[in-house]
Chains A and B, each alone.
Chain A
């Protein structure tokens, strides 16, 4: 029987355990670009030669994607993708400052990675500082020295990992149906990609009013170009009015994020006719309305607390729902049981109320309202994270 080849994807979000694997530490779920920006800012200096910074970023991306692709931690029963401990993985400091130049470089590279020629999986790219610690992989200080000698980032990577490596670029990002088309979209272009960009810009501009509204006509004219430039100036992207990979995925992340909030708000309005009173104990194996409500509460909380993971609202209390309950309990200093008792339900509801006010006051605009109210698929049915025009 032919082997099924699973194409590596880049996760749109990654869950990081803030300690050694067996430690009773929190998990945080962050976007994959933000994870890499944090790692790069935590591992190296922004003053280094750009070729060295890029080489290090490729190694960091590849290491993380190898963890995800091989399900290294989930296969051992853990509920996270990677840790923040340098004894096991890469340095990640929750909430830290990041560096502007690293921010821009990662936006353009986050879905590219290293692999061995003839192999599918991302390279488990090892690295170390190369001074106090040596290893069979990239030397961080060595990469800076090579860059100063004129090596480019690929030369640096081949120096440490061998000539039989290649860079995979523009890998698909999971949960985003439409990948970056591969070539920049710019003034004068027409077509479906332009329509998607224009529609998304209009939704984003509801909360970023400096971004002007544009006609959704599929024609990339000056007004669209100006809107793109304004978005780029807000989000630390090169303000050239061209939608390259970095701008494309910034637009996608923002649009999908706003749409997800709108769907939850819509779902909340549907549920307001139902009592939020504690039903009775809710635990793994349960199904039905009480599970749906619990999942809805957790989903809204997850939009605001990075320590609570996303959960699908499907009315089935499975492993992922149990994990979300545990992370909620850990976040709010409750006994970590994975079971929703009265005290847990009350805490979930109280936190939900505190963030729900934000949810109901966000401007989703007419377009998303019409989409959600007119789309029968969203009427009381499951909301899957990532459902979108992208």
Chain B
């Protein structure tokens, strides 16, 4: 099983989240081939102080946690 096919338990720390949206853009680029927070499976909502939610389409691949520059996301088995 490749790492990409693994399913992780995902969580986010809004105190560490800076709102950079790199996670959302990596997700949409990977799965939809374009940069679009609207099409991403991780939603960062600045109107609620960078709340972090995962949509029902999220496959829990953990790529967002790999790319977060601020260690705001964790993936665990």
**Do these two chains interact?**
no
What is the interface of chain A, defined by CB distance below 8 A to chain B?
none
